[in-house]
Amino acid sequence: MSLACAIRAERGGFRIDVSFESPARIVGIQGASGAGKTTLLHAVAGLIPVEHARVAVDQAVLVETDKALNPPVHARRIGYVFQDARLFPHLSVADNIAYGRRFAAGAVDMNPVIERLGIGHLMGRWTRNLSGGEARRIAIARALAADPRLLLLDEPFSGLDADRRADLIPWLVALTQDIRTTVLVVSHDAADLEALGADRIVMAGGRISPDRRP
């Protein structure tokens, strides 16, 4: 697996200019609050305008604005899990996951993902009755239901206590070993990225740190 990403964008007067390549299955962007991590994810996902964007996974180019390859959000084959999960409260867990399938290019067997994430017993529940850790796992499953080549995770452990964080990390690690999806995860916490086995890249002031590493 490999990920190549180059983004130039400006949002609210804050500019990001980022370019990196990584051979890892999980790539972690580390940085303090205000470093531009979430803005980077928004640009990759197509949620904000960009001056330039090129995103490729295993040589498959998903976005390349210089060559007029700039598909809409739902057609990028890029999944996004926001910090607050953003599940639909009027739908059951099963229906939330089914919503993600609408954007898949073909049939997706979600049973292995559901089993790996340990959420089978939650299918009939309303999302408003989920714990924080359960909601994160459902959001990940919904994003994977669209069969993305790249999965974006924005502070996936934020707001979780130590026990729920310790539960979610091994699920994520095991899941990436099962699926053909590269993961780009942002976090302010180096320990979380280390626990995921991520290739860590440091971001500050909208740019990649010169030495890349913490």
What's the whole-number average pLDDT of the chain?
91
* pLDDT tens by residue, 178-208: 877 899 999 988 999 999 999 999 999 999 9
What is the C-alpha separation between 31 and 186, in angstroms, rounded? 8
Domain extent at residue 167: 3-208
**For residue 214, is it within any domain?**
no
Domain assignment present for residue 213? The answer is no
Read off the CATH number of the domain in which 97 is found. Answer: 3.40.50.300
Residue 117 has pLDDT above 90, yes or no: no
Domain count across the chain? 1
* pLDDT one-digit tens code per residue, 1-10: 689 999 999 9
What pLDDT, in 10s, does the model give residues 16-36? 999 999 999 999 999 999 999
Look at residue 213 and tell me whether its pLDDT is greater than 80.
no
Q: What average pLDDT score do residues 135-149 get?
A: 92
pLDDT at 212: 61
Q: What phi, psi does 46 have (nearest 5°)?
A: 90, 20
Structure tokens at 173: 């690690």
Nearest residue to 88 (alpha-carbon basis) of 76, 96, 79, 100: 96
In a domain, 48, yes or no: yes
pTM for the structure as a whole: 0.91
15 pLDDT tier (thresholds 50, 70, 90): very high
In one-letter notation, the amino acid at residue 48 is: I
Instruction: Give 72's pLDDT tier (boundaries 50, 70, 90).
Output: very high
Average pLDDT over residues 157-182: 83
Residue 68 maps to a domain: yes
Q: For residue 173, what pLDDT is reported?
A: 86
Could you give the percent of the chain with pLDDT greater than 90? Answer: 66
Asked whether residue 112 is domain-assigned, the answer is: yes
Task: Answer whether residue 49 shows pLDDT above 90.
Answer: yes
pLDDT bracket for residue 98 (50, 70, 90): very high
What pLDDT is recorded for position 63? 96
pLDDT digits (tens, 9 = 90+) for 50-65: 999 999 999 899 999 9
One-letter amino acid for residue 58 of the chain:
D
